[in-house]
Amino acid sequence: MAAPRRAAVLGSPIAHSLSPVLHRTAYRELGLTGWTYERFEVDESGLPAFFETLGPEWAGLSLTMPLKRAVIPLLDEISETAASVDAVNTVVRTEDGRSVGDNTDIPGMVAALREHGIDKVDAAAVLGAGATASSALAALSRICPGEIAVYVRSEARATEMRQWAERLDVAVRIADWADAEQALRAPLVISTTPAGVTDALARSVPERPAALFDVLYDPWPTDLAARWSAYGGAVVSGLDLLVHQAVLQVEQMTGLAPAPLEAMRKAGEQALAER
């Protein structure tokens, strides 16, 4: 049995984070008595001071935006995956006190898609161009050899997406948000927008939709996901992503694999149902 350790999710705000539910469930299932997973409100300015308090009892940290980028200068090492998108959502504390950063959002996306039978697509569309969209591009670089259409609402965002496309070596076509309904005919649509942004697109879902990955999980389902599912299309939810990336975090922080995916998913579903 592993010695009791501490882990936590950091962010501002993080009041509605499901991470504690998922990680604590994993600890119980893995028999990690005494392990704790906490929640700390930390902003970018307070992050360096928080790191100075980390002792040998710490196993790792989960990070939300904007800390995913702010943490990088504080780390001893980051993975190639994290470096590819300049975003670290997972910090593992090694036995010698080093802090190693990784990004489990990207492989978590791939795993969530694979769980729904989506291993490869010839083309894809991404709705939105924020931080999650760059992770979506990185995930698509692993499963989509064809063109990725990214629908954006500003030229500034378009420029950012072009830069990410070049960096990740993916074929991207930038499209105006006014034409976003065209995205819904792609073999795979990944929606990375905040709640409510895609509601108006629900009425444009085709009669035979392919696959939709909507990264939101609360509220769920979104109008777009509900219509997509009603028309028989495959739907991957933000909870699927959250659980799969948390599974990878648990495995890295505890050194135990596999993490209890189904127990963690059920705990997340229950937590959402009780809100």
68 is an active site residue: yes
Cα separation, 29 vs 33, in Å, equals 10
Q: Which helix H or strand E contains 235, and what residues bound it?
A: strand 234-236
Cα three-residue angle 190-191-196, rounded to 5 degrees: 165
Catalytic residue selected from 23, 24, 68, 244: 68
Contact partners, residue 62, CB within 8 Å, separation at least 6: 7, 8, 9, 10, 19, 23, 89, 90, 246, 249
Cα separation, 147 vs 51, in Å, equals 41
CA distances, 177 to each of 86, 149, 197, 263 (Å)? 25, 11, 11, 38
DSSP per-residue string spanning 153-205: SSHHHHHHHHHHHHHHT--EEEEEGGGGGGGGGSSEEEE-PPTTTTGGGGGG-
176 phi, psi to nearest 5 deg: -80, 145
What residues are annotated to the active site?
68
